Amino acid sequence: MKTLRLVLGDQLTRNLSSLSDLDPACDVVLLVEVAAEARYVPHHKQKIAFLLSAMRHFAIALRAEGITVDYVKLDDPANSHSFTGELARAVARHTPQSVVVTEPGEWRVWQMMQDWDLGCPLDIRPDDRFFCSRDSFAAMTKARKTGRMEYFYREMRRRTGFLMRDDGPEGGQWNFDPENRKSLPRDHRPPARTRFAPDAITREVLTLVATRFASHFGDLEPFGWAVTREDALLALDHFITDCLPGFGDYQDAMKAGEDFLYHSLISPYLNCGLLTAHEVCTRAENAFQTGDAPINAVEGFIRQILGWREFVRGIYWAEMPGYALSNHLNATRDLPALYWTGQTPMRCMADCIGTTRRHAYAHHIQRLMVTGNFALLIGVAPAQIEEWYLAVYADAYEWVELPNVHGMVMHADGGRLGSKPYAASGAYIDRMSDYCKGCAFDPKVKLGPKACPFNYLYWNFLIENAATLSPNPRMSLPYVTLSRMPAEQRAEIARSSATFLAGLRAPAPETGQP
Ligand code: FAD
Ligand code: DLZ
Ligand code: SF4
């Protein structure tokens, strides 16, 4: 029975559910490069190049196994440039008895699939690359096990056995986060990172992307991402050996000009399927067992994948499509142009947007406590900042981006993901980075032209959102401080904030970019 097996660009995993019963004698695997997927948000050029090159290499690997692959390239003149159009054309070409696909990562594509009328049966299979299926998360929610990430994570540790000893957590505690908040010593040099030189296929894709998506944000080169499973495994080896031991200590640190520190840089590979979450966690756990990495590093790392990554996916599928629509803090400001240009005297913002432009990457604390914190404090409309995060990172897919931005950063979900907003003043950034030393502003100054904007914007945010946030017990400390603040100081905070906000330029409305 001839089956057409559609593999999407973030499903580049050999043992994907849609390929599990593949019969090379009669089946056809379909991969399609379509402009709609590059344009539904204006993806960073490097993200498009990464994914197209990874798709082309995946097709080559399948063909090397003797599998028939129908691969539609972006510059094919007959390309209709949508999943729906290309699947319909492929069904007409191959007249299969059925079509099989693994469930997509995004609600948008899931909706698309519900409307597919192919003239033959369509089998949409669960994506079993995650530890927690959509159904299992829903069942856990019913049993009240997904209220907070920490309890979900403990349940996942028990279920999978990662870092468990005698029914309890390895090292005697579930979470070593308090040990993972060191700033980087002044002369400390993080390890040099393994990057991958583009081969002929990637170079061809880089030229294609440079031509077709010239107006999109971001630099195409230097391009250093792995685009094959073999190289992604090398990237994982490098992380486990050279970076994991220091990952815990410096997980929250930031340093100007140091784009990667001890982070793994594997999220693009995990999210497109070149690596699996199971093998990554297993490698990390082995490093602990052989004494090559300390518990605070390994637990901290596994928590991000087994905990946060699974939790945000669960929330996304449990709460969509309504999840994207809430706006708990009624934030309405247009995204300032500086998110696209990086042009700002705020050194922390300029550095985080700079690394984003150079690599389609920024690490978690840069995303959460710098660009995210700023968007929260100035009240950017959730949909606009969500689109930015979805466009600019090589690892961005809505299932993981949306809960992180809508929930964790913007608190637009009213606390489904996190119990309070991660709002912070300049003191946090000063403590965790060296950004402030070369900045035009001073993190110790609270008001006036020299003051760090995060300082007055932080209090202004609390004042403006007092009705919504002050009843939250986890916000009581800052609101007690605020209640003791003299009226004149509050008025000055409002004046400094208004002046600063009036100076922000919005992007051109027709493109959404400056
Ligand atoms: P490491 O720091 O080495 O962490 C290891 C792995 O843990 C990551 O590869 C990732 O798979 C996982 N992880 C860590 N934190 C999270 C998290 N909060 N949610 C889900 N997985 C996590 N991650 C994405 O994969 N795609 C996104 O689109 C994305 N958008 C984000 C937007 C914002 C505003 C924030 C605050 C975080 C976002 N994250 C996203 C989570 C996290 O920032 C990235 O996964 C991480 O920076 C990727 O770099 P790394 O592989 O070096 O991660
Ligand atoms: C992100 C992306 C891009 C830029 N291009 C393609 C593509 O040409 N073909 C494809 O199959 N997938 C692409 N993707 C990834 C899809 O957007 C992703 O598979 C869906 O969002 C579902 O998660
Ligand atoms: Fe950022 Fe403020 Fe520090 Fe400047 S002083 S780098 S704006 S936190």
**What secondary structure, in 3-state letters, does 44-93 show?**
CHHHHHHHHHHHHHHHHHHHHCCCEEEEECCCCCCCCCCHHHHHHHHHHH
Q: According to the model, what pLDDT value does residue 142 have?
A: 80
Look at the block and give the residue holding tokens 């029914």.
167
pLDDT the model gives residue 511: 47
CA distances to 144, 450, 464, 487, 498 from 494, rounded to whole Å, are 41, 16, 9, 11, 6
Of 36-45, 108-117, 247-256, give the lowest mean pLDDT range: 247-256
Choosing from 395, 402, 413, 422 the residue with most ligand 1 atoms within 8 A of its CB, the one to mutate for a pocket test is 395
Proximal ligand: closest to the CA of 47: 2
396 sits in the region (left: phi over 0; alpha: psi -120 to 50; else beta) called: beta
Q: Is the CB of 375 under 6 A from ligand 2?
A: no
Q: 222-241 pLDDT, tens per residue?
A: 999 999 999 999 999 999 99
Structure tokens at 455: 């300082």
- Six-digit token string for 302: 């596994």
- Region of 5 (left: φ > 0; alpha: ψ -120 to 50; beta: rest) is beta
pTM over 0.95: yes
498: tokens are: 């208004």
Cβ neighbours, 10 Å, residue 403: 26
How far apart are the CA of 433 and the centre of ligand 3, in A?
10
Interatomic CA distance for residues 17 and 125, integer angstroms: 6
Report which ligand 3 atom has the smallest distance to the Cα of 429: 8
- What distance in Å separates the CA atoms of residue 202 and residue 227, rounded to the nearest whole number? 8
Is any ligand 2 atom within 6 A of the Cβ of residue 268?
no
Q: Whose CA is nearest to atom 48 of ligand 1?
A: 267
Neighbours of 279 (CB within 10 A): 12
List, in sequence order, the alpha helices (H) in 164-309: 200-212, 229-238, 244-247, 267-272, 277-289, 295-302
Residue type, 158: R
| Ligand 2 touching residue 399 (CB < 6 A) | no
Residue type, 305: I
CB 233 within 8 A of CB 372: no
| Pair of tokens at residue 226 | 């792995």
Most ligand 1 atoms within 8 A of CB, residue of 315, 352, 365, 404 to mutate: 404
Query: What is the predicted pLDDT for the residue at 513?
Result: 56
- Cα(133) to centroid of ligand 2, in Å? 21
Average pLDDT of the chain, as a whole number:
96
Protein residue with least CA distance to atom 10, ligand 2: 9
Q: Which ligand is nearest to the CA of 266?
A: 1
Spatial separation of the C-alpha atoms in residues 158 and 16, rounded to whole Å: 25
The two three-digit tokens of residue 320, written as one number: 């969509």
Query: Is the predicted pLDDT of residue 93 greater than 60, yes or no?
Result: yes
CB 9 less than 6 A from any atom of ligand 2: yes
Report helix, strand or coil for 280: helix
- The answer on pLDDT for 510 being more than 70 is no
Ligand nearest to the CA of 243: 1
What is the predicted pLDDT for the residue at 180? 83
Q: What average pLDDT score do residues 330-338 get?
A: 97
Q: Is 58's C-beta closer than 6 angstroms to any atom of ligand 3?
A: no
Residue among 400, 401, 405 whose CB has most ligand 1 atoms within 8 A, to mutate: 400
> 275 in ligand 1 pocket by Cβ < 6 Å?
no
Model pLDDT for residues 172-200, shown as the tens digit of each residue: 999 998 888 888 988 899 999 999 999 99
* Ligand 2 centroid to residue 109 C-alpha, Å: 10
Q: What are the pLDDT digits (tens) for 200-215?
A: 999 999 999 999 999 9
Ligand 2 mean position to 21 CA, how many Å? 23
DSSP letters for 494-513:
HHHHHHHHHTPPPPPTTTS-
- The angle at the Cα of 361, spanning 506 to 212, to the nearest 5 degrees, equals 70
Which residue among 347, 365, 500 has the greatest number of ligand 3 atoms within 8 angstroms of its CB, and so is best to mutate?
Answer: 347
Residue 273: name the closest of 5, 19, 86 by CA: 19
In whole angstroms, how far apart are CA 97 and each of 90, 94, 120, 181?
13, 9, 6, 56
29 membership: H or E segment, kind and range = strand 28-32
Distance (Å, whole) CA 268 – CA 275: 9
- In the DSSP assignment, the letter for residue 463 is H
User: Is the previous residue joined to 121 through a cis bond, with omega within 30 degrees of 0?
Assistant: no
Mean pLDDT of the 418-426 span:
95
Instruction: Name the β-bridge partners of 99.
Output: 4, 122
The reply to whether ligand 1 has any atom less than 6 angstroms from the CB of 396 is yes
Residue 165 bridge partners (DSSP): 168
pLDDT of residue 514: 47
Q: Is the CB of 54 under 6 A from ligand 1?
A: no
CB of 51 sitting under 6 A from ligand 2: yes
Cβ of residue 104 lying under 6 Å from some atom of ligand 2? yes
Q: Give the ligand at the shortest distance from the Cα of 437.
A: 3
Is the model's pLDDT at 506 over the cut of 90? Answer: no
Mean pLDDT (whole number) for 499-507: 89
Average of per-residue pLDDT across 254-278: 97
Q: What is the pLDDT of residues 136-158, one digit of tens each?
A: 999 988 877 778 999 999 999 99
Give the per-residue pLDDT at 299.
97
What's the gap in Å between 430 CA and the centre of ligand 3? 7
**pLDDT tens track for 339-388:** 999 999 999 999 999 999 999 999 999 999 999 999 999 999 999 999 99
Backbone phi, then psi, for 31, in 5-degree steps? -125, 135
Tell me what the mean pLDDT of segment 469-492 comes to: 96
Q: Tens digit of pLDDT for each residue in 43-69?
A: 999 999 999 999 999 999 999 999 999
% of the chain residues with pLDDT over 70? 98
In ligand 2, the atom with minimum distance to the C-alpha of 11 is: 19
